[in-house]
Amino acid sequence: MIGGMSERRELIHKGRKYDFERVSSVTPGGREVCLEIVRHPGAVCVVAVAGAGVCPEGMEGGEHGGVVMITNYRVAVQRELWEVPAGTKEAGEEAVVCAGRELEEETGFSAGSIEPIASFYTTPGMTDELMHAFFARDLTYVGQRLEADEEICVSVKRADEVLGMIESGGIVDGKTITALLLAQRRGLLEA
Domains in the chain: boundaries:
7-39, 43-185
Q: How far is CA 65 from CA 46, 55, 56, 132, 185, in A?
A: 16, 8, 11, 24, 20
Mean model confidence pLDDT for the chain: 91
Q: The domain 43-185: what is its CATH number?
A: 3.90.79.10
> Whole-prediction pTM value?
0.90
Instruction: Say if CB 50 and CB 109 are below 8 A apart.
Output: yes
Q: What is the CA radius of gyration of the chain?
A: 18
pLDDT > 80? residue 85: yes
List, for residues 27-84, the tens digit of each pLDDT value: 888 899 999 999 999 999 999 999 877 887 777 776 677 999 999 999 999 999 999 9
List, for residues 140-173, the tens digit of each pLDDT value: 999 888 877 778 999 999 999 999 999 999 999 9
Catalytic residue positions? 150
pLDDT > 50? residue 5: yes
- Report the alpha-carbon distance of residue 145 to residue 37 in Å, rounded: 31
